[in-house]
Each structure stands twice: as C-alpha cells, then as structure tokens.
Amino acid sequence: MQQQSDPKERACFICSRDTMDGAYPALILGINAARLGMEAKVFYTFMGVNLVRRGGIEKAKFIPPGVMGAVPGMSTMATAMMKKKIEKANIPALPELMEMAQLEGVELIACRMTIDMMEFKQEELIDDVAIWDAEQFMKYAKDAKLCLFT
C-alpha cells in the first residue's frame, strides 16, 4: 500500500522594486524556503517586473535612502560600493542568485496587470517566468504558510 505524501508547505514573496534591496530579499528568502522543502514563488509586480525582463537583473542599482539618493551620480557610486561589499562577503551577484533560485525550484512570476500596463511582451521576460493575474496569486497566497512583501 502506497502512502500519500502531504502537500508541500507554500511560501510566496512579493517584490515590487527593481533595486538591489528589492531583489536580494525575495531571492534569498525564496531559495531558503525551497531548501527547507517548501514550494516557493516570487511574484514580481510594478517596478519589480523589470528584474525578470531580459537583462533587467543586471541593471538593478542600490539607491541610498533620503536626500542622498536624489544626488546625481550617488546611486551609481552607492551601487559600486554595495557590489564590492557583496563580493567581499561571498554573496552571489544578482544574476547568479536568480539563476540559482530557478535551479532550486523557486518559481518566478510576473504580474499580469503590470505586464499589460507597461506594455511588455512575454518574449521580453527571461525564460521560465510565468504570468499571473492578482486572482491567481491570491488563490496561491491564501494557502501559503508564509507570504512576505520584501
């Protein structure tokens, strides 16, 4: 007699910013949820959708908070500094981290409303990115053990 396995616990993460501090938490948490045996999904909405566009993850910047972020050239300098800190800490760069997430089974999902609003085409997205509307995401999220806005 074969035993029925329990369904995996679910974890979902919402990423709405296309900055480094928007991208890293969702991917790190998604990877760790998958490593804990959870079904993990990252839902990219509004500016976060840029991260799942071809070449988008490579363009993520670190924008300092407050007035400093508005100073011309500050985000370029802060991004370079942050990338050095990330490398020194042996943390994967965002493109490698996103690839790692996909390899470990984290599903990346783009928001249908954002895709339509920004007039993006499916072929502009990286491979294996699903497109869900809000209702599809809510149906998934309502049964998730974890649902975090990163």
| Residue type, position 93, single letter | A
Q: What pLDDT is stored for residue 49 in this prediction?
A: 98
Q: What pLDDT is stored for residue 4 in this prediction?
A: 63
DSSP string across 44-58? E-GGGGGGGBTTTGG
Q: What pLDDT is stored for residue 66 in this prediction?
A: 87
Q: What are phi and psi of 147, to 5 degrees?
A: -145, 110
- pLDDT tens for the chain, 150 residues: list them: 556 677 899 999 999 999 999 999 999 999 999 999 999 999 999 999 999 999 999 999 999 988 888 899 999 999 999 999 999 999 999 999 999 999 999 999 999 999 999 999 999 999 999 999 999 999 999 999 999 998
Structural domains of the chain ordered from first start? 10-149 (3.40.1260.10)
Q: What pLDDT is stored for residue 6 in this prediction?
A: 75
pTM: 0.92
Residue 112 DSSP SS3? helix
- CB contact at 8 A, 58 and 18: no
